[in-house]
Amino acid sequence: MPHRRRQAGFTLVEMLVVLAIMGLVGAVVLARGPSRSAALEMRLASGTVISALRLARTRAIATNQPAQVRFDIARGSLQVGRDAVRSLPAGIAVAVRTAPGQPAQIRFLPDGSSTGGQVVLAGAGQTATIGVDWLTGRVSPGPGPQPRTPAGDGVAQDGPDS
């Protein structure tokens, strides 16, 4: 009687069991959704604002024309010049502190200086402040210098906390 060798490999039943298990694991992962944290959302929003401000300053110097970043407080978005509107992550409120009577924008001049101000982001127990120096136009995380105000009138606030 000849001896039959068993072939190496998987049976159809084994393959179906593995595919069913993979499908269940995939469904559980997708049901949970992406994992996000308030700290990561705040870092994303802060990075978006900082890059927009730095882009406007660079553009003002390079083109020898003023450039501005406008903030839409109600929609939680910003726009550099005529570029596309950039939305901040949902749940992040924005407040812009500038000189009294000024709109919610920061303007950069061709010499690198700016109108100065602060952008305050808040949401989910997290806050971030981005400062813009009026003399140098330097954009930095943290409060930075207060915006210059005519005749020392104080600081105007546009946003949810005003």
Domains within the chain, CATH numbers bracketed: 38-158 (3.55.40.10)
What's the whole-model pTM score? Answer: 0.69
Pairwise pLDDT comparison (159 vs 119), residue with the higher score: 119
Q: How many CB atoms lie within 10 A of CB 52?
A: 23
Pairwise pLDDT comparison (118 vs 159), residue with the higher score: 118
pLDDT of residue 40: 87
pLDDT of residue 4: 67
Residue whose C-alpha is closest to residue 99's, from 145, 138, 160, 58? 145
